[in-house]
A and B are shown apart, each in its own frame.
Chain A
Amino acid sequence: MASSFEPKILVLATVACAYPGADAVGKAHLEYPANISVFRVPSPVLFPEDFYLRSYARGVDGIIIAACGSDCPYHNAYPKLAARIDALVKKMKTGGLEIERMRITAICTVCIKAFLKEVNEMDQRLRKIGPVNRDTAAKLWEDSRRGMCAGLNLPAIRRPEPVPVFA
């Protein structure tokens, strides 16, 4: 892969743990690549798998779920999240999307080293494997939306819209 490829990496960081952890890295004036961006989330357990697949279809090359792990402030949310990501990764594998694009980890409020390690490793991995195949992701996304609506047999269900091509 040409070294000029800049992967777009999204970190979904929990309000209680990983987001302050990412702040701590900046406060220490330690650097990581600027193609890594962090979104604050209450708990990543809220995302259905089609959110991740849609993100890949939109051109996000890699996602790191930076959760609280066993320090999660919500009852039972972490095991549930882990199970959901497990299922997603299986679908990515069979659907032809590199599973290296998804990483789930726990980052605490002061876990500076862990944060840097995770984002740098993701960056290096993606620079090797190259940009995400957006068509593959879009297909998986459609399958996932259909799967979610399957068996409900109710006309109220909207068919998934095709992923528009964006910039």
Chain B
Amino acid sequence: MIKETAQPQAASEEPRIGVYICRCGGNISDVVDVEAVATAMQGVAGVVAAKVNTFMCSDPGQALIAEDIRNERLNRVVVASCSPFLHELTFRTAVNRGGLNPYLYEHVNIREQGSWAHHSDPAGATSKALRMISAAVGKLRHAEPLDRIRLSNNRQALVLGGGIAGLKAAAELAGKGIPVILVESSSSLGGRVASLNEVYPTETDASDLVKKLAAQVMNHPLVRVYSQARLAALSGFLGNFDITIAVEPKAEAGPAPGVPLPKPAKAEEVRAAVGAVIIATGFDPYAPRDGEFGHGGPQVTTLPEFIRELRGRRNGELQWNGRPVRSVGFLHCVGSRQIEGVHAPQADGKVNDYCSRTCCTAILQQALDVKRRFPQVNVYDFHQDIRTYGRGHEDYYRNASTAGVVFLRYHGDEPPAVGPGTNGASLTVRVKDWLTFGEEVDVPLDLLVLGVGMMPRNIRDLIELMKLPVGADRFLQEVHPKLRPVEVSVNGVLLAGTAQGPMNIEETLAAASAAASKASILLGRESVELDPFVAEVDADQCIGCERCFPECAYTGALVAEAATVNGQAVKKARVNPGLCVGCGACVAVCPTRAIDLKGWTLSQFDAMVDGLVAGVPGVELKGREHARQTH
């Protein structure tokens, strides 16, 4: 259900524009001649006030805007200051406090993209500031008051994946009183961590960790867990997702690691409504191809297999496939940090050029462990770099060196070669070792452990179903790595853990907590409010040509409505603002410009171009001479 929130309005009357130029305490005014800009703007049609202030974002600066809205009856406001990422919201709010619709505001960046980027050209920076402000004034002439989108809210969350990320997110949400549906594709909880032994950097028992998290979830009355289940259908939008869960019990070969879940009694489809979705589907360990670094041979294994095999083996002799192991090697970066032309590409034609982040410390932990449990075994470590970046990780490196692990360093474009063994050894690793300045070394081994990295889990069905954005590394992609790190461009969908990219347990749990908090904020309200920047159709202008429909990649965002144009039955377009993501793909094809993005209309962009090329006609600006000297 869509309701529009009531915002203070301003009719589309003659524009009375206020322009505020910030000195930023000299950050701007040392380069841009702000007084000259203000004077020039005062002469522009529609501009009622043009003022300079030392800190526009300060309380007095913001109060100045509100005062002028009242006293000068301003109905549009421009602030030229720092990047919109810092203070656009600040000034929208200030404008709203003054009694004006917050979307009758334009932000101009004259610091990051002005004074700081052109500090040796004050005249140029000043003229650019003027052009950019007149572009904003042009845009505002076409601005309409906008209402935030308000959606009713199903205050329940769906968590996909019952690894540590999903468990943590579910536990935190339930702890805040929010009901959770947890869908796990396997028959147990805990994900990949369930197959580990002691985990770095705390050396906590992995199964204890998993059991604790699973208990919090399974014993909570607000959590419903579906095992051997998948998300079969999803439609709707933030606050209003309709979901179908398919429960598909299948026979499993032996007990799965982790906390077992009750086997579902029968295959069934469960329908539910949720307000937010957290994706915690995790990763797959990189699966080496046959022959890749000897993979497939009896004395070559992968790190996860090695860890599993060593579980519970305390002392005595280290054996592999019944053969005593006198020398073991660990190879870093298998399936990570690949180089085009050196490594064979993956199925999609791309190499994995990213670092899997968790393998370096995981390898050193195992290398050290072998040295401690089986002191007579020679341990070799083949690496490009050692990336023990986290708190406590470096200790593993230091201790491994002290314990006698032998380090050999290869270059990424000359990876080690694995060949047959001699003198009773199972295999030989030939490496050009850069710790000895490029010497070729043959290392005889009885066992080689491939430090495989992380690959995104194959969740193509979810990506299609939910229109999830995928990064160049094929992991799910957040809106912004720093500003919106657990959100995706689909409103109400959040990321937790390694579905987003390689993370260790600490990082996974932190991301899961962040996603849970974000979800609980979204679900904590009666209704959800969104920025109004979605598409809108002017029904009078729409001729029902249907060109826009195939452009939209979001099912349900564009709705066809029966109408008559010139006596002919046609389908006109209407936008469902809850489903439209505001990409604008539809806007470009409309012959009548009937469809536009609110707040970013084509006539606004046209007006901005006009403002930019024209600047302020008749005004010639010169940079201040002293500004030049201060640099």
Q: Is B58 an interface residue (CB 8 A)?
A: no
The answer to whether B609 touches A29 (Cβ under 8 A) is no
State the CA gap A84–B479 with chains docked (Å). Answer: 24
State the CA gap A58–B615 with chains docked (Å). Answer: 12
The answer to whether B467 touches A48 (Cβ under 8 A) is no
Q: Is B582 an interface residue (CB 8 A)?
A: yes
Beta-carbon contacts under 8 Å, A2-48 to B: 8, 10, 16, 20, 22-23, 25-27, 29-35, 37-43, 45-48
Measured between beta carbons, the chain A residues less than 8 angstroms from B488 are 73
Assuming the A-B contacts A26-B113, A42-B582, A154-B566, are A80 and B551 also in contact, with contact meaning beta carbons closer than 8 angstroms in the complex?
yes
The answer to whether A47 touches B588 (Cβ under 8 A) is yes
The answer to whether B482 touches A72 (Cβ under 8 A) is no
Contacting A23 at CB < 8 Å: which of B83, B467, B553, B582?
B83
State the CA gap A23–B125 with chains docked (Å). Answer: 15
Contacting A33 at CB < 8 Å: which of B124, B551, B597, B608?
B124
The answer to whether A58 touches B565 (Cβ under 8 A) is no
The answer to whether B469 touches A73 (Cβ under 8 A) is yes
Beta-carbon contacts under 8 Å, A95-115 to B: 109
Assuming the A-B contacts A37-B128, A166-B610, are A26 and B117 also in contact, with contact meaning beta carbons closer than 8 angstroms in the complex?
yes
The answer to whether B566 touches A155 (Cβ under 8 A) is yes
State the CA gap A48–B617 with chains docked (Å). Answer: 28
Contacting A45 at CB < 8 Å: which of B118, B121, B482, B584?
B584
Measured between beta carbons, the chain A residues less than 8 angstroms from B588 are 45-49, 84
B21 to chain A, nearest CB (A): 17
State the CA gap A45–B471 with chains docked (Å). Answer: 19
Contacting A167 at CB < 8 Å: which of B120, B553, B617?
B617
Contacting B606 at CB < 8 Å: which of A22, A54, A70, A72?
A54
User: A77-89 interface mask toward B, CB cutoff 8 Å, 1 = contact, 0 = none?
Assistant: 1001000100000
- Closest residue of chain A to B584 (Cβ to Cβ) is A46
Beta-carbon contacts under 8 Å, B545-582 to A: 545, 551, 553-554, 565-566, 581-582
- Closest residue of chain B to A77 (Cβ to Cβ) is B583
The answer to whether A51 touches B606 (Cβ under 8 A) is yes
Q: Which of A22, A40, A49 has the largest number of chain B CB atoms within 10 A?
A: A40
- Closest residue of chain A to B606 (Cβ to Cβ) is A54
Measured between beta carbons, the chain B residues less than 8 angstroms from A73 are 469, 477, 479, 488-489
Measured between beta carbons, the chain A residues less than 8 angstroms from B111 are 26
The answer to whether A48 touches B551 (Cβ under 8 A) is no
Contacting A74 at CB < 8 Å: which of B117, B118, B583, B615?
B583
A139 to chain B, nearest CB (A): 18
Q: Is B135 an interface residue (CB 8 A)?
A: yes
Q: Is B204 an interface residue (CB 8 A)?
A: no
The answer to whether B553 touches A76 (Cβ under 8 A) is yes
State the CA gap A73–B581 with chains docked (Å). Answer: 10
State the CA gap A144–B551 with chains docked (Å). Answer: 19
Contacting B609 at CB < 8 Å: which of A54, A149, A167?
A54
Q: Is B605 an interface residue (CB 8 A)?
A: yes
State the CA gap A48–B600 with chains docked (Å). Answer: 14
State the CA gap A60–B608 with chains docked (Å). Answer: 12
- Closest residue of chain B to A30 (Cβ to Cβ) is B117
Assuming the A-B contacts A45-B583, A48-B589, A73-B469, are A34 and B118 also in contact, with contact meaning beta carbons closer than 8 angstroms in the complex?
yes
Q: Is B592 an interface residue (CB 8 A)?
A: yes
The answer to whether B543 touches A156 (Cβ under 8 A) is yes
Measured between beta carbons, the chain A residues less than 8 angstroms from B613 are 8, 58-60, 166-167
Assuming the A-B contacts A55-B609, A74-B469, A167-B614, are A109 and B584 also in contact, with contact meaning beta carbons closer than 8 angstroms in the complex?
no
Measured between beta carbons, the chain B residues less than 8 angstroms from A74 are 469, 489, 553, 581, 583, 585
Measured between beta carbons, the chain A residues less than 8 angstroms from B113 are 22-23, 26, 37-38
Beta-carbon contacts under 8 Å, B594-614 to A: 597, 600, 602, 605-606, 608-610, 612-614
Q: Is A157 an interface residue (CB 8 A)?
A: yes
State the CA gap A77–B241 with chains docked (Å). Answer: 23
Beta-carbon contacts under 8 Å, B506-565 to A: 533, 541, 543, 545, 551, 553-554, 565
The answer to whether A31 touches B584 (Cβ under 8 A) is no
Beyond the given A23-B112, A39-B608, could you list 15 further A-B residue pairs with CB under 8 A, ordered by the A residue number?
Answer: A8-B612, A22-B113, A46-B585, A48-B589, A51-B605, A54-B606, A70-B471, A71-B477, A73-B489, A74-B469, A75-B553, A84-B588, A154-B565, A154-B566, A166-B614
The 8 closest A-B pairs by CB, nearest first: A46-B584, A34-B124, A73-B489, A26-B112, A74-B583, A26-B116, A75-B553, A26-B117
A-B contact pairs, 28 of them (CB 8 A): A20-B480, A22-B113, A30-B117, A31-B119, A31-B120, A34-B125, A37-B128, A39-B135, A39-B612, A45-B588, A46-B584, A46-B585, A46-B588, A46-B602, A47-B605, A48-B602, A51-B605, A51-B606, A55-B609, A58-B610, A71-B472, A73-B488, A73-B489, A74-B553, A75-B469, A75-B553, A154-B565, A156-B543
